[in-house]
Chains A and B, each alone.
Chain A
Amino acid sequence: MALKLALVVLFLIPTLFPMFWIVVSSLKSNAETHTLPVTFLPTEWVWENYKEVFERRNFGRYLFNAATVAIATTAWGVLVAAWSGYGFARYDFRFKPAIMAFVLVAQSFPRILLIIPYFQFANRFDLKDTYIALILAYSTFIQPLCLWIMKEYFEQIPRELDEAALVDGASPYRAFWDIILPLARPALGATAIIGFLTAWNEYEFALVLTSTERVRTISVAVASFIGEFTTEWNLVMAAAAIATMPLVIVFLFFQKQLMHGLTGGAVKG
Chain B
Amino acid sequence: MSTTTTQSVAATAQAPARRRTKARIHPFLFVLPSVVMLVLLLVLPIGQAFIDSLRVDGSWSFDNYVRAIRRDHLARIAIKHTFIFAAVSVAGQYLIGFAVALLLNERLPARGLIRVLFIVPWMFPAVVPGIVWRWMFDGLYGVINEVLYRIGYYAETDPPIAWLGQTSTALPATIVANIWRGFPFIMVLLLAGLQAVNSELYEAAAVDGANVWRRFWDITLPAMLGISYVALLLAWIGSFMNFAIVQVMTAGGPANSSEVFATLIYKNAFLYADANYAATLGIILLALLMIPGALYVRSTLNKGHA
Question: Which residues of A approach B to under 8 Å, CB–CB?
Answer: 4-5, 7-8, 11-12, 14-16, 18-19, 21-22, 25, 33-38, 40, 80-81, 83-88, 90-93, 99-121, 136-137, 139-140, 143-144, 147, 152, 155-156, 158-160, 163, 172-173, 176, 200-204, 208, 218-220, 222-223, 226, 233, 236-237, 240, 243-244, 247-248, 251-252, 255, 259, 262-264, 266-268
Contact A236 B45 (CB under 8 A): no
Q: Report Cα–Cα, A204/B266, bound state, in Å.
A: 9
Contact B180 A203 (CB under 8 A): no
Q: Report Cα–Cα, A202/B127, bound state, in Å.
A: 8
Shortest distance between the CB of A19 and any CB in chain B (Å): 6
Q: Report Cα–Cα, A87/B32, bound state, in Å.
A: 9
A16-B117, A240-B131 known; A113 and B282 CB under 8 Å?
Answer: yes
B146 partner, pick from A19, A37, A92, beta carbons under 8 A: A37
B188 at the interface (CB under 8 A from A): yes
5 CB contacts below 8 A, A to B, read A18-B132, A83-B33, A105-B296, A108-B290, A156-B1
Q: Report Cα–Cα, A220/B128, bound state, in Å.
A: 10
Q: Report Cα–Cα, A186/B279, bound state, in Å.
A: 39
Q: Which of B252-274 contact A (CB under 8 A)?
A: 261-262, 265-266, 269-270
Shortest distance between the CB of A94 and any CB in chain B (Å): 10
Q: Report Cα–Cα, A144/B237, bound state, in Å.
A: 15
Q: Is the interface of A mostly helix, strand, loop or mixed?
A: helix
Q: Which of B130-151 contact A (CB under 8 A)?
A: 130-136, 138, 140-143, 146, 149
Q: Report Cα–Cα, A112/B270, bound state, in Å.
A: 12
Contact B132 A237 (CB under 8 A): yes
Stretch with Cβ within 8 A of A (4 or more), from B22-30, B65-73, B197-205, B215-223 = B22-30
Contact B126 A202 (CB under 8 A): yes
Contact A236 B135 (CB under 8 A): yes
Closest A residue to B24 by CB, please name it.
Answer: A93
Q: Specify which of B142, B240, B244 lies most central, judged by the most chain A CB atoms within 10 Å of its CB.
A: B244
Contact A247 B124 (CB under 8 A): yes
Shortest distance between the CB of B125 and any CB in chain A (Å): 5
Interface size on B, residues (CB 8 A): 102
Contact A263 B192 (CB under 8 A): yes
Contact A83 B30 (CB under 8 A): yes
B230 at the interface (CB under 8 A from A): yes
Contact A113 B129 (CB under 8 A): no
B45 partner, pick from A4, A117, A155, beta carbons under 8 A: A117
Contact A101 B35 (CB under 8 A): no
Report chain A residues within 8 Å CB of B116. Answer: 252, 255
Shortest distance between the CB of A153 and any CB in chain B (Å): 12
Report chain A residues within 8 Å CB of B296. Answer: 104-105, 107-108
Contact A21 B38 (CB under 8 A): no
Q: Report Cα–Cα, A81/B30, bound state, in Å.
A: 10
Shortest distance between the CB of A183 and any CB in chain B (Å): 13
Shortest distance between the CB of A101 and any CB in chain B (Å): 6
Closest A residue to B186 by CB, please name it.
Answer: A263
Contact B124 A244 (CB under 8 A): yes
Q: Report Cα–Cα, A113/B282, bound state, in Å.
A: 5
Shortest distance between the CB of B85 and any CB in chain A (Å): 14
Q: Report Cα–Cα, A102/B130, bound state, in Å.
A: 32
Contact B265 A113 (CB under 8 A): yes
Shortest distance between the CB of B27 and any CB in chain A (Å): 3
Shortest distance between the CB of A197 and any CB in chain B (Å): 9
B123 at the interface (CB under 8 A from A): yes
Shortest distance between the CB of A39 and any CB in chain B (Å): 9
Report chain B residues within 8 Å CB of A247. Answer: 123-125
B241 at the interface (CB under 8 A from A): yes
B227 at the interface (CB under 8 A from A): yes
Shortest distance between the CB of B256 and any CB in chain A (Å): 17
Q: Report Cα–Cα, A92/B127, bound state, in Å.
A: 42
B74 at the interface (CB under 8 A from A): no
* A-B residue pairs, 6 tightest by C-beta: A87-B30, A84-B34, A113-B282, A108-B293, A91-B27, A117-B45
Closest B residue to A32 by CB, please name it.
Answer: B141
Q: Report Cα–Cα, A136/B300, bound state, in Å.
A: 27
Contact A106 B27 (CB under 8 A): no
A8-B108, A117-B45, A208-B270 known; A244 and B37 CB under 8 Å?
Answer: no
